[in-house]
């Protein structure tokens, strides 16, 4: 057991009673010896005021004890009142030491039964608890206040940075986050595509983190925390994406909005890999590059199924030439395309009218909900309903409100560049073979998937498809009234016809 001794005399005491530091020290040492303790250090406070804060030696002692909390077991004083007469100070000190498992013992008083000892023991627990409660109450109240003022209270989310206590968009990372939201909102990308994009731009996060990230209202500038507020609070910082984009993303995540067929990243040498299947076993072909004897490369598509009877393979050039030829065969003829254009225009006009109508109706409903909410609040203020009833009802309204907002976000009113898009799409269809040949790998793949969602089977020079896309079916029959347009912006940005 290691002990530290603390002795103190005020100038008056020394003069009046002769409680010298030396005699205090002696009694403390005797006590330590009796208790079998080793004295490792002695602090002597001479002629200073009773205030703890003004006592340098006491401060040193506390510092020493904290620094050596593992090896110090107790502090010995001549009398408890050596520390301080002020109860708060006393309690604070005892509490602090108790936290480090350091006992404070009096050399001349009964350590178990002394009045101050008992009081301190009883009070410390309550007082410490009380202090904690007050502190956390204050912190919570402060945080709530800051939250309601739109302050971000936590670690900056990816794409943002904290400067002082304010959230700012991190220019580089923020632009990447904006890009993944906007890409995902088109419905043309999978989450793994976003992850790869982020990885390429030095933002390495897990799939789970990405999933959480896409749902965080902070990105459209709102704070949501049930603890502080039932309603989302408009943040005092710039949003990274607009509300419309955010809600589109939510709709896709919730499965309310269809995603276009996902594509796999591929070797640009083999655009038909994983798309054309083996004529013998129906497994997807993969790319292969065997080297010739003189080091020259030969490109092949090959069936790697070890159970396949044929180990089918075909040279890249042959398969791709056949494929392009096939595209020229299936592309619709010009008169059909013209008819298709006319019909699409009709469909467009009809569907925009519908979309506008439902847009107006959704907004009317939203207005209705807001009116009801404010009426409800009036009722609460007039004490005509209980706060429980209010809460319950408000929750219902809010749920309906959220539902409507997400419906509005998904309810596309096609842009006015529809005609341009249609022209473009028809141009692609008219030049399918050339378009495929001249496109980059990802456009090639997407085009293949759009035309043949289930891939193609190659059989002695002939392609067989189990299913052609609805687009081609429509052009083939021109009888289906509505069609899900895939926004062609992706094509435009990546390749020109
Ligand atoms: Zn095979």
Sequence spans of domains, the chain: 2-131, 160-253, 276-332+419-494
Contact (CB, 8 A) for 308 and 277 = no
**What is the residue whose two structure tokens read 């936290």?**
99
Q: Per residue in 236-251, pLDDT tens? A: 999 999 988 998 898 8
Give the residue-averaged pLDDT of 416-429: 80
At 88 the pLDDT is 67
Which of 327-336, 372-381, 444-453: highest mean pLDDT?
A: 372-381
CA 341 → CA 344, 425, 450, 488, distances in Å? 5, 10, 19, 15
What's the number of CA atoms in the CB half-sphere (13 Å) around residue 192? Answer: 4
CA distance 472 to 470: 5
Q: What percentage of the chain reaches a pLDDT higher than 70?
A: 81
Q: Comparing 106 with 259, which gets the higher pLDDT?
A: 106
Distance (Å) from CA 75 to ligand 1 centroid: 84
Helix (H) or strand (E) holding 367: helix 334-381
pLDDT category at 24 given cuts 50, 70, 90 is confident
Whole-number Å distance between alpha carbons of 167 and 154: 10
Closest residue by Cα to residue 385 from 374, 394, 376, 372? 376
456 CA distance to ligand 1 middle (Å) = 14
**What is the mean predicted confidence (pLDDT) over 391-398?**
89
457 CA distance to ligand 1 centroid (A)? 11
Query: Given pLDDT bands bounded at 50, 70 and 90, which one contains residue 119?
Result: low
**Gap from CA of 277 to ligand 1 centroid (Å):** 8
CATH (one of 3.30.830.10, 3.40.50.1370, 3.90.1750.20, 3.20.20.210) for 160-253: 3.90.1750.20
What value does the mean pLDDT take over residues 277-297? Answer: 83
Q: What percent of the chain has pLDDT over 90?
A: 23
Burial of 143 (0-12, 13-18, 19+ CB in 10 A): middle
Residue 229 annotated to the active site: no
Q: Is 187 exposed, middle or buried (0-12, 13-18, 19+ CB in 10 A)?
A: middle
Neighbour tally for 218: CB within 10 Å: 20
How does residue 158 score in pLDDT terms, banded at 50, 70 and 90? very high
- CATH number, span 2-131: 3.40.50.1390
Q: Write down the catalytic residue from 10, 284, 358, 489.
A: 10
Strand partners, 166: 163
Would strands 286-288 and 160-163 be described as parallel, antiparallel, or unpaired? unpaired
Q: What is the mean pLDDT of residues 356-377?
A: 90
Copy the structure tokens of residue 406: 């997400």
Work out the pLDDT band at 484, boundaries 50, 70, 90: very low
**Ordered DSSP codes for 436-457:** HHHS-HHHHHHHHHHH-TT-EE
By mean pLDDT, which of 3-12, 86-95, 100-109, 488-497 is the weakest?
488-497
pLDDT bracket for residue 255 (50, 70, 90): confident
Residue 225 DSSP SS3: coil
pLDDT score recorded for residue 123:
62
What is the reported pLDDT for 496?
37
- CA dist., res. 397 & res. 389, Å (int): 12
CA of 262 to the centre of ligand 1 (A): 25
Residue 1 pLDDT > 70: yes
Q: What is the mean pLDDT of residues 405-434?
A: 79
DSSP 314-331: EEHHHHHHHHHHHHHHHS
Taking the C-alpha atoms of residue 268 and residue 284, their distance in angstroms, rounded to an integer, is 17
User: For residues 470 and 483, is the Cβ–Cβ distance under 8 A?
Assistant: yes
* C-alpha 404 – ligand 1 centre gap (Å): 51
Distance 449 CA to ligand 1 centre (A): 21
Q: What angle do CA 47, 51, 57 make, to 5 degrees?
A: 55
Q: How far is the CA of 274 from the centre of ligand 1 (A)?
A: 12
CA of 326 to the centre of ligand 1 (A): 22
In terms of pLDDT, which residue wins out, 73 or 90?
73
How far is Cα of residue 368 from the mean position of the Cα atoms in its chain?
A: 33
Residue 227 is predicted with a pLDDT of 82
11, 71 contact by CB (below 8 A): no
40-54: pLDDT as tens digits: 999 988 765 555 556
Q: Per the structure block, which two tokens stand in for 292?
A: 């010739």
**What is the chain's mean pLDDT, rounded?**
81
pLDDT surpassing 60 at residue 125: no
Distance 284 CA to ligand 1 centre (A): 8
Q: Is the pLDDT of residue 14 over 70?
A: no
User: Residue 267 pLDDT more than 80?
Assistant: no
For residue 310, the CA-to-ligand 1 centroid distance in Å is 6
Residue 206 has pLDDT above 60, yes or no: yes
Q: Kind of pairing, strands 166-169 and 160-163?
A: antiparallel
Closest-CA residue to 75 (of 42, 45, 44): 42
pLDDT for 16 equals 59
**Which is more confident, 183 or 482?**
183
The tokens of 118 are what?
A: 């008992």
Give the confidence band of 485 by pLDDT, cuts at 50, 70, 90.
Answer: very low
- Give the pairing type, strands 456-459 and 276-277: parallel
Interval between CA 111 and ligand 1 midpoint (Å): 89
Expressed in angstroms and rounded, the spacing between residue 34 Cα and the centre of ligand 1 is 92
| Cα(366)–Cα(350) distance, integer angstroms | 24
The torsion defined by the Cα of 345, 351, 355 and 357, in degrees rounded to 10, comes to 110
């Amino acid at each position: 057991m290691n002990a530290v001794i603390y002795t103190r005399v005020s100038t008056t005491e020394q003069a009046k009673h002769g409680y010298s530091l030396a005699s205090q020290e002696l009694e403390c040492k005797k006590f330590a010896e009796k208790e079998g303790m080793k004295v490792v250090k002695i602090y002597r406070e001479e002629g200073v005021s009773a205030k703890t804060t003004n006592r340098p030696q006491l401060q040193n002692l506390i510092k020493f004890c904290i620094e050596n909390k593992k090896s110090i077991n107790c502090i010995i004083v001549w009398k408890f009142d050596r520390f301080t007469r002020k109860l708060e100070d006393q309690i604070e000190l005892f509490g602090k030491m108790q936290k480090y498992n350091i006992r404070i013992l009096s050399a001349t008083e009964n350590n178990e039964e002394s009045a101050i000892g008992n009081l301190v023991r009883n009070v410390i627990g309550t007082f410490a608890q009380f202090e904690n409660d007050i502190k956390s109450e204050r912190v919570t109240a402060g945080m709530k206040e800051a939250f309601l003022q739109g302050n971000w209270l936590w670690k900056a989310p990816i794409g943002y940075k904290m400067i002082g206590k304010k959230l700012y968009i991190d220019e580089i990372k923020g632009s990447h986050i904006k890009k993944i939201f906007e890409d995902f909102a088109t419905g043309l990308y999978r989450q793994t595509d976003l992850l790869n994009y982020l990885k390429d731009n030095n933002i390495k996060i897990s799939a789970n983190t990405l999933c959480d990230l896409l749902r965080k209202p902070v990105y459209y500038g709102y704070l949501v925390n049930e603890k502080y507020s039932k309603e989302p609070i408009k943040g005092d910082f710039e949003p990274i994406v607009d509300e419309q984009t955010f809600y589109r993303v939510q709709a896709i995540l919730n499965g309310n909005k269809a995603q276009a067929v996902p594509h796999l990243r591929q070797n640009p040498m083999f655009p038909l890999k994983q798309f054309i299947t083996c004529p013998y076993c129906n497994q997807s072909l993969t790319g292969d590059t065997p080297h010739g004897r003189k080091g020259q490369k030969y490109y092949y598509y090959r069936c790697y199924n070890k159970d396949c009877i044929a180990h089918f393979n075909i040279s890249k050039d042959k398969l791709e030439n056949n494929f392009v030829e096939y595209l020229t065969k299936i592309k619709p003829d010009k008169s059909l395309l013209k008819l298709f254009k006319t019909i699409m225009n009709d469909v467009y006009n009809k569907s925009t009218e519908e979309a506008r109508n439902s847009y107006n109706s959704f907004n009317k409903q939203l207005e209705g909900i807001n009116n009801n909410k404010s009426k409800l609040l009036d009722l609460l203020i007039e004490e005509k309903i209980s706060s429980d009833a209010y809460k319950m009802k408000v929750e219902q309204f809010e749920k309906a409100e959220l539902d409507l907002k997400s419906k509005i976000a998904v309810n596309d009113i096609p842009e006015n560049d529809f005609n341009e898009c249609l022209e473009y799409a028809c141009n692609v269809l008219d030049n399918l073979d050339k378009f495929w040949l001249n496109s980059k790998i990802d456009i090639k793949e997407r085009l293949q998937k759009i035309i043949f969602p289930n891939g193609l089977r190659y059989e002695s020079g002939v392609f067989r498809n189990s299913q052609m896309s609805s687009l081609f079916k429509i052009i083939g029959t021109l009888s289906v009234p509505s069609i899900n347009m895939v926004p062609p912006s992706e094509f435009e940005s990546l390749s020109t016809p």
